[in-house]
A and B are shown apart, each in its own frame.
Chain A
Amino acid sequence: MDGPQLLAGADEDLGGSPLLDPKARKGESGPGGHVLHVAAEMSPYVSTGGLGEVLGSLPRALAARDWRSTVLLPLYGTLEGLAPPARRTWSGTVDVLRRTYPVDVWEGPAVQGAHLLLLDCPALFARQGVYGDAAGLFADNDVRYAVLSKVAVRLARELDPPVDVLHAHDWHAAPAVVWARELDPPLATVLTIHNHAYRGEFGPQRLAALELGDVEASVGSFLERGILDADEVTTVSPAYAQEIAAASGVFARRGDAPWGILNGLDLREWDPRSDRRIASCFDVDTLPARAKNRDALREELGLASTDDVVAAFQGRFTHQKGLDILLDAAPRLLDRNLQVVFHGDGDPRLEEGVRRLAREHPQRVGAVIGFDRDFSARLFAGTDVLLMPSRFEPCGLTQLQAMRYGAIPIVHATGGLKDTVHPLAERGRRSGASNGFWLKTLTPRALSLAVGKALRYLARPDAWRTLQRNAMTQDVSWDASAVTYGRVYGQARQKAAHRARKAPIAPVAAVAKEVVEDVEEIVEKVVEPRPGYALEGPPLPEGYSQDALHVTAQSPRLLYAYWEVPGATSLRLWLADAQRRREVAVVRARGEAWIPVEPERIYHVVLEDGSGEPRLRSNLACTPADRPLESIVDVTALSTEPEGEPPPTRAPWGELSPRDLPPPSPGPVTRGGPRRSLRLGYPLRDEDS
């Protein structure tokens, strides 16, 4: 619990300063201001990964750059250890989905260079779990974090000193940047994506119900909604920024890619010169002293004391971290003079895989299941090599920590690993800043080859020591990143100011007009029943003298639209989704059309009159997922005439005695065996027609 002093200093510098007036500031690299961070996690109170770690250390780095930070964090049931805060900063009610939630905001202890505000809404957060419990994710996570965001936007206008930038972290806080756009005067907003794999997917309709729905946007997740509206979007490494910009269409709609700003480390905690958790402290000039740590590690884990090289894996045992690849590669690796240590937990199957390996090779494989921060330090100080075969890695802190302790990372070249681990140049020549090894393809074989390469390098002590020096001296502090965040805040302020002048801004900046050439594939028909059955009974009106335009998703790839525009002579029918639109046909005042589309998209159609003015816009239609594999399934044909007919029971009609029943018999079995295809549907009804 350090940091209040820092903050007090910042207070004095910033409070009441004329520089706090946004009008007096210039956007680029401004002199600081007040940032309201909105997040679901903050280390050390609640942290499940990078998000919490960053919130635990970024504010202090920002404070050093004259940015005062206030963090708004939900008061989870798991945070009961935090003393009931004495001072109520705010109290009120928040309406979400027709329900009213009373909310108190308590001022928490100032930690890590930030004011901590705790959002107290027992109905939503007083639970023994952050996002879920043993029964699974909480059903109302959308409501929970919508409340967090709503309170954040209201606080942003009421805090003193006034908030200059609302900084939302991950999907949990993304709605805040959407709602903050409605503020007048405008408030600068920044959204940081700590992990793009978690987006808060609730569907467009749900977002609409939560007042996040913009029919033009038609996105289904909190995060994407926030990406569209934030003044600036950042993520935690430049390479990851490129990866997600390429993978997600929303950045194309924004018109820019996110900033990639590397996370930093708290260098006071991760310092091999003074770390009391390790057996022998060392620095770049006393690297031989490091060897004692390796011996201690072996001893701690009961590994054989040999000349073998020690390699380590630390992280959650998940698919993302590529532990399965490492386990697949283990037989090849253990053929070499290598010892491997695993540290972490997660997927029970992977945990079992690690345990089995340790049982089979007790002298050469160590396993510490669970997460022990102190052991991490001992591991990094003792291991020669760190293995990180992650499938994706937004930033990654493990490699930064390990490198500080002279462990050389072998990583899959993805995301933040690509930005922080610099491989040897081609043909084994050393480059000036090399500090590790890359796998360009993620396979057990590639991993084994990379380890082999590292082992060959290790055999040359001078070369290895150079790598270690490079690794240990790389700047992994928050300093550079805090400067960049300052720039981002400045840019966001500029944009907000610009918004004020230009309002209202279209939610989707540009709609590409793409005219398709396959208009003839559209079937336009006169609205009449197809012949095939007689028309009897009273006639229905030809038209209803009212504008109507309606669209229905008949199937994953077909829409049905009908329209009526009394008095119109010629209309252009457009099909639109959130990103673009295309012309379907020139149509008459009344008609219908079948329009080919794509699965799992949200469409609407628009009718324009001759002058190109939109005349009518339809409802939204959401196409289902494409015809699934499930629609064609395999079943085994039942035998039709079993051999040896059983004698008929002679019971009177309508009575079946339990005695007549055979025990459940294997009989014809529908699992496995010969298969045939069969379509779903109404086979029996069809035959009736």
Chain B
Amino acid sequence: MRSFIRKLMWLAQRGHKEAEFREELQFHLDEEAEERREEGLAPEQARWAARRELGNVALLEENIRGVWIWTFWEQVIQDLRYALRMMRKNRVFTVLATLLLALGIGANTAIYSFMDALLIRSLPVSDPRSLAVLNWHLTGKKSVRDSVVQDVSGYFYDDPKTGKTTPIFPCPAFELLRKSSDMFSVLFAYHPAGKMTIMVRGQAEIVSGEYVSGDYFRGLGLAPAAGRLIIGDDDRVGGPAVVVLSYAFAQGRFSDPAAAAGQPVMINNIPFTVIGVAPRGFFGVDPSKAPDFYLPLHADLLLSSRTDPNFKPGEWYLNEHYYWIEMMGRLRTGVTMAQAQAAVGPVFEQWVATTATNDRERNNLPEFLLKEAAGGLDTLRREYSKPFDILLAMVGLILAIACANIANLLLARATARRRELAVRLSLGAGRWRVVRQLLAESLLLASVGGAAGILVAIWGIRFLTLLLAGGNDHFTLHAELNWHVLVAAAVLTMITGMLFGLAPALEATRVDVMPVLKEMTAGKRRPRVGLRFSLSRLLVVSQIAISLLLLVAAGLFVRTLSNLQSLEIGFHRENVLVFKLNARQAGHRDPEIISFYSDLQRRFAALPGVRSATLANSPLIGDGAWGWPVVPLGQPTPEHAPSGHGSGVADTATHVLATGPVFFTTMQIPLLAGREFDERDRQGSLPVAIVNQAWVKTNLEHRNPMGQHIVSYGPGLKPQEMEIIGVAKNARYDDLTGNFPAIVYMPFEQNLNVPVAEMTFFLRTSGDPLAYASMVREIVHQADARIPVTNLSTQAAQIDGEISQEILFARLCTGFAILALAIACVGLYGTMSYMVARRTGEIGIRMALGAQRGTVVWMVLREVLVLAALGLAISVPTALGTSKFVESFLFGIKPNDPTAVAVAVVTLLSAALLAGYFPAWKASRIDPMIALRHE
């Protein structure tokens, strides 16, 4: 410590100190000379003798300085100054290398910042580490269909470790665990409220909400930004109609969040009071969502009772087979995750065993699973972590190619600097000293590249966020350059610098000083090229190998892209305007709501430029589907056919869509037989339905469907018999991929036991559909100002949105592969040019001895081909072995698609030959005379 301060003080008064010890030495010299003079030497001789006796003054000064300061740092500064000079001297190289590094490091930093946002960030609540989220899972071959779960509202996911996993529980389980657990200090529950119409100060809009139990905010340890948060007493049957707004929502609607508390709002046309505002930055427990408001759990009695005609009050709070509620607990101090799992697991498992009613259910019992919740629910992680892993691997490979490239350029430059290095070494510089100096140059280069890379990363994050969000306002994955990302970028920069700098530095200093010095003066070229050259070849081979990997990936994604874009969807997607309206949330009720919608449909159809207009109770793509059993009359219903609305309707259920008139005309779905719904099919007339080919195939085999009677078993509804009046060609509904679903279309105006609530309108227009948006809003506003127009888009954009992630991913990978190929070609070109230059003499002799130009070109190209072949020999098996990692991102193509591999190989070989041809051509133009004189 003392020495540290001393050294710092020295640095501060360095000039003064240096002058001092020079004076001290001068005094010594004078004294010594005087002494010699006294011994009888002439003054001049005496001075020289004294000087001789003193020895190497520079070394002495250096040694004294060494006492006071860090020689190491001094040298580092020296090295950096020198490196700066070198960088300025080789502008082209510096700019090129900086560009390569900036792209490589920037891309890596940008992708890493997304992964950081996904994996590392914690919930903005107090002590997030003690939070645990409750799950259950089915191991082995157990299936949810055979389990005690009869109805669900929520999601399941396949986890590679835990199998089919889900966070949803029946409400009695929540009550049980809340009472019996001494592991959790608080156990709270929540359930997405979905989209609701909220009217603030006379302005209606549709936003998403979350139902939360009374302990939710207490459990998370949050303090309100204004007013108060939901407490236990708010969450009960008959509790007050209160709502807590998110900070952003309150700020947007009331400008000052503090002003929001106490304000009245209408939610789905029911009056609520804002009691407070959640703290700034709080987004709930799921980073993939950001609810705009929070309601007490039991407020769903208030809201659902008005929207669901088949509502039985509170039934779902008591149902042991209805899985819907999600739970999180705060572990008591000192309780570990494993202890809580061991204590709470059996409680739940014993209870759930009592709910099983038969052996099938007893053999498929849920098993309790506690997971850490410091980062919130891992919905985002499941969705994005694999794509980002793959992207990170790709940009990592690109950085590796860039490193190999710069290393090669440095190698070539080091050869040009052989003489300089030899001089340094012969003057007594240690090899490590020179290596250090060369490393300082590469690290400085890397740092400049890294700094530029940060700029690239800032831009890259914005660009990627824009691409990933794809116009979605509720995109919640916010990446940023926080300190861990910056540290990671800095470390990456240093590693990069070492990677591309170390090998050339070691290689360049591995010189026998004498031959090099002699060779340079004598003009003979006999350097020790063997090892050095093989290193540069190795670098080219590895670049080719990596490029091939990326090219194969690009090939697979391009094929996926074209497969996705040429999907057969069964209807015409161009020139269709799509939007949603929810009249029920604005207070419309049966049966008036049906005529309200029909009336709107007629007014839209009458708009000039609208060729036809229709509506349905769900969009066709990207928003799930309705599904329940619909079977021919007299046929039993499938044993297990989960019913409801969601994505991925079970095979045993039928996709159901309630549509308005002229649906098939508007969507241009061809009818193979019969007619479509029209004015005749209204309430009270004979219930009718239209089925599609897939439904006929599964349910009727060879019978003629026309006139057949079928029965629909909607969830919680009484069975509804209908007559088939038409057969439609297969068309998409819900998923864009896979087999065409079996669909039964029903006329919504007949109100065949399908609740009429939110409706999606489809307008086939002439010209740009979005041009009609303002007219649509105007008509809706005139009809009922309380109803907002939502999800307004075109059908084509909706379909693109559905496959946007795949498209984006395919485009990014293709872009990266092209970048990698370009970098590798530059590297190959540089290496070959250098090789040709080195062999000028040899080529000259060959040509003087009668070699043809073609032979010379071939000689150089053969070299290129050998390198390329070596690269391919390494990477083709690697590509075949690793392509299965991207399998889940491919569509309509196998991971080891031979065409993709073949195209990649051919592309790479052509690019390599192209990169090698120019140097080869130059070699063949060598004038033998000049070449020989050059020697």
Are A and B physically bound partners?
no
| B contacts, CB < 8 Å to A | none
